[in-house]
Amino acid sequence: MSEDDADRIDRNRRHFLTVATAVTGAAGIGAAAVPFLSSLKPSARAQALGAPVEVRISAMQPGEMVRVLWRGKLIFVLRRTEEMLARLPEAIDELRDPYSEVVEQQPEYAVNETRSVKEEFLVVEGSCTHLGCAPLEDFEVRPSEGWGGGFFCPCHGSKFDLAGRVYKGVPAPTNLRVPPHRFVKDDVILIGQDTGVA
């Protein structure tokens, strides 16, 4: 691991602990809610058991990311800026699977240059493919570090670009997984269901 990576781990440690606590708290709430499933209305019960989740994206600004839970999994929805999209080809040679050839990591409709249905919106699981830590967003471009923005896992230093593609030479073996999803309206993404068509 380079000194830059070590520095970044230190910088992110406090943030990571906060995120880990928040996720643990959310999981605890979910577990506590399970005994009460039978008392929920059908739609709420289906949601708790893993029904698709709608994400309204109309208020999202370019460069903004939201997190949602689907089946207990953290999902990142990032609205990429034009600059972010323009940077995607730049690090191709440094990526382990730049063309999304590991088929399990995304539905077929996300096998493209941006790993997305609509290039502006990246939808990926917020789970590092090494041992499952939640990666941190790090969208700041730092040319001196060869970093064009993306996601950084503070557990063991894995790095992913702005399409969730893993860099070479890090512990994570594969790209971040793209969950099934589709646009049910221009401003609503349904996560967890695609009926085979994006």
Work out how close the CB of 189 gets to ligand FES at its nearest, in angstroms, rounded to a whole number.
Answer: 25
Contact between 134 and ligand FES by CB under 6 A: the answer reads no
Work out how close the CB of 175 gets to ligand FES at its nearest, in angstroms, rounded to a whole number.
Answer: 13
Q: Which of 130, 165, 177, 182 binds ligand FES (CB under 6 A)?
A: 130
How crowded is residue 81: how many other Cβ atoms within 10 Å of its Cβ? Answer: 17
Q: Which stretch binds ligand FES (CB under 6 A): 42-50, 97-105, 140-148, 155-163?
A: 155-163
> CA 40 → CA 27, 45, 135, 190, distances in Å?
18, 5, 33, 22
Contact between 124 and ligand FES by CB under 6 A: the answer reads no
Q: What string of DSSP letters covers 88-138?
A: GGGGGGGBSSTT---GGGS-GGG-STTSSSSTTEEEEESS-TTT---PEEE
Q: Which of 55, 128, 166, 189 binds ligand FES (CB under 6 A)?
A: 128
In terms of CB distance, is 9 or 198 closer to ligand FES? 9
- Which residues form the interface with ligand FES (CB under 6 A)? 128, 130-133, 153, 155-158, 171-172
